[in-house]
Structure 1
Amino acid sequence: MQYALNLEYIEHTFYVEGLEKYNAQAFADAGYEAWVWGRFRQIRGHEATHVKFLQSQLGSAAPQPCTYSYPYTDIHSWVALSHTLEQVGASAYLGAARFVDSKDVLSASLAISHIEARQAGWVSAAVEKQQPWDGNFETALYFSGVWSLAVGFIVECPSTNPPLPVQSFPALTVSNSSPLMGSNITLSYNKTGIDTTTPTYMAWYHDMNVTYTTIDENGVTTVPYNLRGTVYAGAVKNETITTSDATMLSGLAIFNFPYNSYAVVGA
């Protein structure tokens, strides 16, 4: 639950800061209907409630908020980042569910996860005019993969915060986060301490599936077909599907394959 609270802090602070910076008139000037700003204020309230709930469950064991930084430059990029945060949040809760022993905690986690997924769908479909879902299933993400994304927003945390039992892998940089399927992309990450003489692969996480593509000696891999919506990918040692950190070489990158109401990607 400390892990979940840390993620909720990132989301809640994002909405607090963003909605202080961009008021209703700013949204209108950017071309959004008045109700869009109102809905984002409701989402801010949801995230505040999630934070309070987790704090109440953890009591004195609750970590304190960190200092955060978010890579948006205008309202449109803020909206896009909102979609990303909600999508990752839903995937994080879903991936953590299998490791929860308490049925009460599991029920609460899934209740939050469903709201995160619905919020992501609303931002994508109603605000960005893209797909309301990514496929037949939500994509589960596991602890270190999610945390490797989360640390990109963290500037500094209180020294009194308890350490989390997760590992942060090197950030993965890709040449194109909205590539065409079948095209080549170049990726890079810090390979210090990694055996570069053995084959490596890109693991693409979508729906309940993992698709692997080979990474060549120049860091080039081919984007697989049959991807839709938000897809996560990271460099791994082999083609073994696992929920642990055993095969991970890098953190995750987020790819977007938007599709229209006819489910045609890129249309």
Structure 2
Amino acid sequence: MPGLLLLAVAFLSTSVHASPVSTAASGQEHGYPVIVHENGYTSAPYHGPYVGTPTTIGAAKAPTTLAAEIEPKPPNPTATYYNSLGVPTEPMPAPYVPAGGLGTNGTLPRYMVESDFDFESIALGTYQEWIELDLFHDGLARFTDEEFEEAGLGPDARSLIEFMANQESGHATLLSNMLGEAAPKQCVYNYPYNTVREWLDFNQRVTRFGESGVWGFISHLDSREVANLLSLSISTEARQQMIFRQMSGLSPMNVWFENGWPQSWAWTMLAPYISYCPENTTRLAWQNFPTLNILNNPNINRINPSDTADNGSESTGRRITDPSVSDVDDGQGCLHASGTGINCDPAIAHNRSEPLSFPGKQVFLEWEAPGKPVGPNNSYITATTAGEPKFVAWSSQLNLTYSPLTVTGDHTGYTFQPEGFVYEDDGIINGTMAMALTDLDLFVTPFNLSMLNPHIVALGLYMAG
């Protein structure tokens, strides 16, 4: 079937190819229908905490597990290619086709997951797309036009957000079709915001762990076809994250490289906001880490973001990616502030005099013990296999950087924000980024970051810039 555009709803688990279908070639007036919430709403009719008793506990498990962690190994013995001449070294399979590559041998693409790793990864992505679909619609429905205007967002901006919500319906449909009939369904959510500013801040955090979570696993998928289509949706997610940062008055692009995170990091950040899911919704195998609370996380709504009250938390709650409170003392808020470098109204870009964070900043931390019920129906349990925390891992750009942890009490401590650069003057710590407590300073790189998981005590989100 020709074309490379949309995945047909008919191609679920019963199809052997699940080929994309060109709407131009089909003669349809509209594209294929998207999957919608089972009650027909674009957003769940209820938002709030789960009040029932879970009937299933824990992450999805296989019949057996082979080891406690993946053993570090030397480079793959087949990784030997090096070209010092700059010209092709092997016979070409066809004119203008250099030797090598995956999925380039003429076989018909099959746009379906090919392993448990693929399934669990794309299922996580489907949970992510569903919450974003609901989240964007919820804010548009919850707040009045006047509240949006006060936050600096007119009807054009609201129309853009509605379009982004519509994008999520397509993303959820695409991923669901690549999974088949066991794909997760839309759930009910419990959100942490009370104002438009807090909603925007939460949106830029959710799209950050949604984007970074996919960058972390996309190159590891067994199905290259699935990775190809997923890349087409996650590139849109990256634009959404940038736009929500602009609407929050933050720099839209403050790093040279976007960071990729393991699936368990993204699931840890996502799960606390899912209240409950329909019966028999597919469960995930990923880990839920205990929450790391950054007590003096910068408040994006302040002229001086680090000037939080007595180094206390200015988040709307205690969940892992809760936004900063927008109600700050008169004269301290940056929304509509006049003067050079202090305004944080929605804009293409702002240069702010006071950075959100800075090298050498003392960062105060508090972390939860494992064993807390979280996620859909309170049916997942936070867990760690790590020993006592000794380091803080900062995951940003191309780097995972450690700083020593000073423990000050029962599940409390502090560290200092590291200084360093990736290239030239590009600081290693910036953006909406992940932080973790670890029991050792294990050497990992962007491609094998999940090797750190057995050594993570707790996981958090830091507003570095």
- The two structures have a TM-score, normalised by structure 1, of 0.88
Change (3 A) 1:249 1:29: same
Q: Percent identity?
A: 23
Aligned pairs for 1:1-267 (under 5 A) are 1-125=122-246, 127-178=247-298, 179=306, 180-181=357-358, 182-191=360-369, 198=388, 200-218=390-408, 219-225=413-419, 226=427, 227-240=429-442, 241=444, 242-244=449-451, 245-251=453-459, 253-258=460-465
Whether the 8 Å CA contact 1:23–1:37 is kept in 2: the answer is no
Give the secondary structure class of the aligned counterpart of 1:35. Answer: helix
Q: 2:24 corresponds to which residue? A: none
> Rg bigger for which structure?
2
CA displacement 1:147-192 (0-9 Å, x = unmatched): 1101121112334122212010111111112253312122122345
CA distance in structure 1 between the partners assigned to 2:400 and 2:394 by the alignment: 5
CA distance in structure 2 between the partners assigned to 1:163 and 1:143 by the alignment: 14
Give the secondary structure class of the aligned counterpart of 2:288. Answer: coil
CA distance in structure 1 between the partners assigned to 2:285 and 2:228 by the alignment: 22
CA distance in structure 2 between the partners assigned to 1:89 and 1:195 by the alignment: 25
Corresponding pairs, count: 256
Whether the 8 Å CA contact 2:386–2:454 is kept in 1: the answer is no
Distance apart, 1:100 and its partner CA: 0.6
Which structure shows the higher helix fraction? Answer: 1
CA distance in structure 2 between the partners assigned to 1:105 and 1:150 by the alignment: 22
Using the TM superposition, name which of 43-52 and 194-203 deviates more: 194-203
Change (3 A) 1:60 1:175: same
Structure 2: runs of 5+ lacking an equivalent: 1-121, 299-305, 307-356, 371-382, 420-426
CA distance in structure 2 between the partners assigned to 1:243 and 1:141 by the alignment: 8
CA distance in structure 2 between the partners assigned to 1:13 and 1:165 by the alignment: 23
CA distance in structure 2 between the partners assigned to 1:43 and 1:23 by the alignment: 19
Give the secondary structure class of the aligned counterpart of 2:403. Answer: strand
Q: 2:339 corresponds to which residue? A: none
Structure 1: runs of 5+ lacking an equivalent: 259-267
Partner amino acid for 1:186? F
Whether the 8 Å CA contact 1:170–1:190 is kept in 2: the answer is yes
Change (3 A) 1:161 1:229: same
Give the secondary structure class of the aligned counterpart of 1:98. Answer: helix
**Deviation above 4 Å: which 4+ runs of structure 1?**
192-199
Using the TM superposition, name which of 194-203 and 95-104 deviates more: 194-203
